[in-house]
Amino acid sequence: MSILTLDIGGTKIAAALVSDGVVSSRETVPTPAREGADAVLGRAAVLARSVCRDAGPADPVTALGVSCAGVVDSERGVVVAATDLIAGWAGTAVADRLAGAFGVPAWCLNDVHAHALGEARHGAGRHTGSMLLVAIGTGIGGAHVLDGSVVAGAHHAAGHVGHVHVALAGDRRCSCGRRGHLEAIGSGSAMLTAYREHGGVAADGADLDAAAALAGPPGEAARAVLATAGRASGIAIGSLLNVLDPEVVVLSGGVVGAGAPWLEPLRAGVRESALDALADTPVVLAQTGADAPHLGAAAFVRERTGAGGTGSSGAPAMRASAVEEGR
Ligand SMILES: [Zn+2]
């Protein structure tokens, strides 16, 4: 039995089928982010229908799992807060809207939470009882997975690892408008800013990573930026270990590609900040890559339905039938 999954981000929408932990029939389109929530959901529905056709009558889609940007109330399937990355995204009833479009029960959760759930069930966190995922890319997010479920928090916003204070960030302004948060020094975009402040020239993270391999001042500046960002992330992670004590820390996101010049300072930062009893907590790299949000969204659906998306209680069936398409 297949679960249809959608991963809706600010730049692209991906749809796929997930069956028994295997992701297939993946298709991707750009997100019409500036056209607003209706356009984004419309594009997602078209993409999902295309993927659905691949499932065929022998293996029908029984449920829809959606991973999306923003703070998501995953019990109601509603985006309760979001940046303006997608115009008008906050307030969108993603699960109901897409359930209405497809006639199958739908669930929705935050994309980093989905990513973490996928990694916990099928990647580096499997066989563990607790995991802290830290996703470091353009921004920094995270999630604490405990006993196989994401800790969503009282306001659905748990896991904002990028928005903890680290002294190394000084008074640098964070994307959230506050100062001194990890994201302002540890994220990919912060690293590019810092490198340019040192006179470096880099269009993206790959340029920065390449510069770090160079001899001479450009290489030294790049390595210094990677080391500071890595150490700052490690210090923040060490502090989180002191609160959460997970079995393993899993790192994902584009910055992970920077390798040892970033990762070694990160591990040193963890040891610097974590209590002695926690300083040897394994810090490993994610394993499921782009499959993670799909695996996580499917796992979330299975969590809610029992197994395979069938045998749903009345509630999700009502959700599917009670919506007004195009609302
Ligand atoms: Zn912040």
pLDDT value at position 110? 97
* Domains 2-115+289-322 and 128-285 in one fold: yes
Of the candidates 263, 265, 270, the one whose C-alpha atom is nearest the C-alpha of residue 239 is 270
The set of residues, in sequence order, having a beta carbon less than 8 Å from that of 271 and lying 6+ positions away, is 234, 238, 279
More confident residue, 285 or 327: 285
Question: Which residues are placed with Cβ below 5 angstroms of ligand 1, an ion?
Answer: 163, 174, 176, 178, 181
Domains of the chain: which residue ranges?
Answer: 2-115+289-322, 128-285
**β-bridge partners, 248:** 131
- 2-115+289-322: CATH topology is Nucleotidyltransferase; domain 5 (3.30.420)
Task: Quote the ligand 1 centre to 132 CA distance (angstroms).
Answer: 19
Confidence grade of residue 307 (pLDDT, cut at 50, 70, 90): low
Point out which residues pair with 17 in neighbouring strands: 4, 24
pLDDT top residue among 317 and 105 = 105
Give residue 60's pLDDT.
Answer: 83
Mean pLDDT value of segment 14-34: 95
Identify the DSSP state of 278: G
Whether 315 has a pLDDT exceeding 70, the answer reads: no
User: Amino acid letter at 187?
Assistant: S
Per-residue pLDDT of 213-269, as tens digits, reads 999 988 999 999 999 999 999 999 999 999 999 999 999 999 999 999 999 999 999
Residue pLDDT, tens place only, 157-184: 999 999 999 999 999 999 999 999 999 9
> What is the overall mean pLDDT for the chain?
91
* Cα 302 to ligand 1 centre (Å): 33
Exposed/middle/buried for 163, CB within 10 Å: 0-12, 13-18, 19+? Answer: buried
**Ligand 1 geometric centre to CA of 190 (Å):** 12
CB atoms within 10 A of CB 106: 26
What's the pLDDT score for residue 318? 30
- How far apart are the C-alpha atoms of 142 and 148, rounded to whole Å? 15
Q: Would the pTM of this model clear 0.75, i.e. be above it?
A: yes
Q: Quick one: which of 168, 167, 153, 52 has its CA closest to 112?
A: 153
Q: What's 128-285's CATH class?
A: alpha beta
